């Protein structure tokens, strides 16, 4: 019985971790297909800045529907993304 209680406590403590196991990675490009450097990408309370190749990665996101926001200068693009363990999502800015 004691082992069962310990196992139940451990599983209960780990439950919140599984709820934030999602991630989004991808590339931001402009309308001509060129990578966009230094764009801000945000979702689920996390954010990242794209590298010189337009690549980004957001970790520790809750699984499920999230609003993905990409900003560069005065351009903003929002889209709905379903987050899972390794979600890939490329974005093209107008």
- Contact indicator for 52, 35 with CB cutoff of 8 Å: yes
pTM as predicted:
0.77
In a domain, 37, yes or no: yes
Domain assignment of residue 57, yes or no: yes
What CA–CA distance (Å, rounded) separates 15 from 68?
25
Structural domain total, the chain:
1
pLDDT for 21 = 82
We report the CATH number of the domain holding residue 60 as 2.60.40.10
Lowest-pLDDT range, 3-7, 29-33, 64-68, 90-94?
A: 3-7
Residues of the domain holding 62? 2-88
Domain presence at residue 93: no
CB-CB contact of 24 with 87 (8 Å): yes
Give residue 91's pLDDT. Answer: 97
Tens digits of residue pLDDT in 14-67: 555 545 689 999 999 999 999 999 999 999 999 999 999 999 999 999 999 999
Asked if the structure places residue 71 within a domain, the reply is yes
């Amino acid at each position: 019985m004691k082992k069962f209680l310990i196992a139940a406590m451990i599983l209960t403590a780990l439950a919140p971790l599984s709820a934030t196991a999602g991630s989004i990675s991808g590339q931001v490009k402009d309308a001509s297909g060129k990578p966009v450097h230094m764009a801000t990408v945000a979702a689920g309370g996390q954010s990242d800045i794209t590298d010189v190749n337009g690549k980004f990665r957001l970790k520790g996101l809750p699984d499920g529907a999230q609003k993905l926001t990409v900003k560069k200068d005065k351009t903003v693009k929002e889209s709905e993304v379903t987050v899972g363990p390794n979600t890939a999502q490329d974005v093209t800015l107008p």
